[in-house]
Structure 1
């Protein structure tokens, strides 16, 4: 009889944990402005280290919440004013097994930090619109581009 009690307690604890994870996810989605995405948290093994989660747009920030976590605070916060897209590519190698085929990977730079995020191709359009719709940046923070011809050589 003792074994059944322990087993029952473990099952109830597991169900409570699953309920808490899905309830947290539902609460995050209630506020609106959420997208499904993956952030690469570990680059030690090529193609691995992706963490699925929800991205929540709050003002000038994209807050990344891990999918299977109980944390209320976001795991990572990306500021629109500092975020720049360096490269756009399709999943390759083992990445094709961890994410749907219609997803796109964006290599981003936020100051000195490089990170990769992946999202659906249709979501990328909205993400880039959000990124471009930010307030104008400080004129001295972004180097100007020449209107015509190649960039002049610096001496």
Structure 2
């Protein structure tokens, strides 16, 4: 095989792999966007910075999946009965470059640990309703 042909083959394989990975990211994003109970939300767990991702509601958990991953397994999972909303605020000037435009910062606690989610206000309304609509601890079958 000629050196030029071998170099072309290596470049073709590399390009095909790049297209395949890009296609897998787009397919995963499409499926996450179409699934029920998923919303765009960035997360910040102190002391780290903001991470872009998607939150997914289940009957018992709030799950956060990273957009920069191909894994179907949530990176963070919060038990619904242990979540509480501490409040919300507008993004600071420094945060506006790291969160989606028009997003608010929702302050949540889970088992005494606080973290922030950046989301649109209408998504926040749904999240707070979902948290508050859960059965009272001691009543129900899933807590």
Q: TM-score range by the shorter chain?
A: 0.7 to 0.9
In the alignment, structure 1 segments of 5+ residues that lack a partner are: 140-155
CA RMSD, aligned part only? 1.8
8 Å Cα contact 2:86-2:108 kept in structure 1: yes
Q: Which runs of 4+ in 1 moved over 6 A?
A: none
2:8: which partner in 1? 4
In terms of fraction of residues, the more helix-rich structure is 2
1:92: which partner in 2? 92
Q: CA deviation at 1:112?
A: 2.7
Deviations along 1:67-112, one digit per CA (max 9) or x if unpaired, are: 1101111000111100011231111132111223321111211113
1:18 maps to which of 11, 22, 25: 22
TM-score between both structures, scaled by the size of structure 1: 0.78
1:82: which partner in 2? 82
8 Å Cα contact 2:50-2:99 kept in structure 1: no
Partner SS state of residue 95, structure 1:
helix
**Matches of 1:74 and 1:43, distance apart in 2:** 20
Deviations along 1:23-55, one digit per CA (max 9) or x if unpaired, are: 2233334431110000114525xxxx1111111
8 Å Cα contact 2:45-2:114 kept in structure 1: no
